[in-house]
Structure 1
Amino acid sequence: MGLFSFFFKNNTQKIKAFLEQNAVILDVRTKQEWNEGHIANAMHIPLSDLKNHVEEIKKLNKPVIVHCKSGARSARATKLLKFYKIEAVNGGGLADLKLLIA
């Protein structure tokens, strides 16, 4: 089990609770990665541009499940959102999150 898989498993209950609260799924991968496939109805904001969209995310007034390809960028994005008082959880990598929400 990889490091990010370990942390993802520890977030599973929180992710499920967020899903019950109609959470926003935020994909912080690059545009190219997004175009290669993504979760339906997910919001796409690359990590490099996330800081410019904090107010937009706050206005949604919903918890946020953040994911990327492996979990590293989503960990950074989750930390940033929490700094701005947005309720967020690291959803890990795309493949893991798809399995959880299926």
Structure 2
Amino acid sequence: MLGIKEIDAASLAELLEARGESVRLLDVRSPEEMAQGMIAGGEALPLHLLPLQLDQFRNERRTLVFYCRSGARSAQACQFLARQGIRAELINLRGGIIDWVRTGQPLAPPTRQAAYA
């Protein structure tokens, strides 16, 4: 998958704890899905808006971790950015927010930004 990495929910929780500011967490679900809760620190970026936001990733130095409901849309986001030549480390949350919750990880209220995504 174009050198894209995958991470499970428990490993993501550890990564966020250890590397916080050097990791950018992006939620590619719809605003309606985000309204049910997000992973704390996640940024709203619905998948259909990703091509319009491409420039913000061109010089990104942080690790980019994408998530969605099950991991399919976030994998598409990673693949799209890799095909566009984005050099940042791209990681997909395998199993998405479903596995995040299933492993007992908490959800945070949606960001104000999510309501307008």
Please report the TM-score for the alignment, with normalisation by the length of structure 1.
0.72
Q: Does 1:96 align with 2:99?
A: yes
Counterpart of 1:27 in structure 2 is: 27
Alpha-carbon contact 1:47-1:77 (below 8 Å) kept: yes
After superposing the two structures, state which structure 1 stretch, 58-67 or 24-33, moved more.
58-67
Which runs of 5 or more residues in structure 2 are unaligned? 107-117
Aligned-partner Cα distance in 2 for 1:23–1:58: 16
Identity %: 27
Aligned-partner Cα distance in 2 for 1:24–1:39: 12
> Could you say which structure has the larger radius of gyration?
2
Cα distance change, pair 49–28 in 1 and its aligned pair in 2 (3 A) = same
C-alpha RMSD of the superposition: 2.9
Please report the TM-score for the alignment, with normalisation by the length of structure 2.
0.64
Count how many residue pairs are aligned between Structure 1 and Structure 2: 94
Which runs of 5 or more residues in structure 1 are unaligned? 1-7
Q: Deviation at 1:57?
A: 3.3
Q: Which runs of 4+ in 1 moved over 4 A?
A: 13-18
Alpha-carbon contact 1:14-1:89 (below 8 Å) kept: no
Q: Which amino acid aligns with 2:30?
A: T
Q: Deviation at 1:37?
A: 1.0
State how 1:4-83 maps to structure 2 within 5 Å: 11-12=7-8, 15=12, 19=16, 20-21=18-19, 22-83=22-83
Aligned-partner Cα distance in 2 for 1:15–1:88: 13
Q: Deviation at 1:100?
A: 8.3
- Taking CA–CA contacts closer than 8 Å with sequence separation of 6 or more, which of the two structures ends up with the larger relative contact order? 2
